[in-house]
Amino acid sequence: MSEIKLQCKCGQVQGLVRNFSVGRSTRAVCHCADCQTYARHLDERSDNSGGTLDEFGGTDVLQMTPAQVTFHQGAGQLRCLRLTAKGLYRWYADCCKTPIANTIAPGLPFVGVVRTALAVDGPLDAAIGPVQFYMQGKAAIAPRPGQKIHNGFPVGWFVATFPWFLLGKISRKHKPSPFFDRSGRPSVKPEVLA
Ligand SMILES: [Zn+2]
Ligand SMILES: [Zn+2]
């Protein structure tokens, strides 16, 4: 188990991923149209844009339980955007529009921390493990040479994610969450884009 620092680009938002282990997380790069729309939406609103999407249109996300994520500075900068009324809850830092994390629903022990929020010293793969899955490739803006990209959600992703997700469900690791209060209300009112 280790800790990973969380930080927005400008440094106002700071936090920690606690109890991190490669075996109890999943690292995936998502190329879906929604992740791309979201990243571009924030890029257009920031001065230090870019860095969320790689050259193939992928967003690198480290998935874990919300109980592992805390913020000790700048939590008041967190904002929530949903592309549609039923879309993912996508959390970002308002100060510099850095994508922080995506959640599905308050009751689920699942959060995808976006690479842009991980403040890692040294090689990223050594700290958080290599990318396990390249998914939703049908929306990729270019083929990834030498990489297997799955068109949708690979079965392997479910196989890798289900054990820690189930453990998180049993041990109720959907909370405490920095994103939802005890009754499951988002910590800030989500803005709906569509
Ligand atoms: Zn910031
Ligand atoms: Zn996506």
Dihedral sign (CA 14, 54, 28, 106): positive
Using the mean position of ligand 2's atoms as its centre, give its distance from the Cα of residue 74 in Å: 26
Cα of 117 vs centre of ligand 1, distance in Å, is 10
Q: Which residues surround ligand 2, an ion (CB under 5 A)?
A: 30, 32, 35
Average pLDDT over residues 168-183: 96
Report CA(146)–ligand 2 centroid distance (Å). Answer: 21
Residue 132 tokens, joined: 């396990």
Estimate to the nearest angstrom the gap between the alpha carbon of 75 and the chain centroid.
16
Label residue 51 by pLDDT band (50, 70, 90). Answer: confident
pLDDT of 1 = 87
The pLDDT assigned to 194 comes to: 81
Architecture field, domain 2-186: Beta Complex (2.170)
pLDDT score, position 55: 95
Averaged pLDDT for residues 103-112? 97
Residue 111 Cα to ligand 1 middle (Å): 20
For 35, left (φ over 0), alpha (ψ -120 to 50), or beta? alpha
Ligand nearest to C-alpha 6: 1
Residue type, 138: K
Query: What is the per-residue pLDDT across 112-159, written as a single tens digit (0 to 9) for each?
Result: 999 999 999 999 999 999 999 999 999 999 999 999 999 999 999 999
Under the banding of pLDDT at 50, 70 and 90, the label for residue 15 is: very high
Position 50 scores a pLDDT of 79
Mean pLDDT for 10-39 is 97
**102 contacts 116 by C-beta, under 8 angstroms:** no
Q: Is 188's pLDDT higher than 90? A: yes
Ligand showing the shortest atom-to-Cα distance for residue 99: 1
For residue range 58-96, list pLDDT tens digits in order: 999 999 999 999 999 999 999 999 999 999 999 999 999
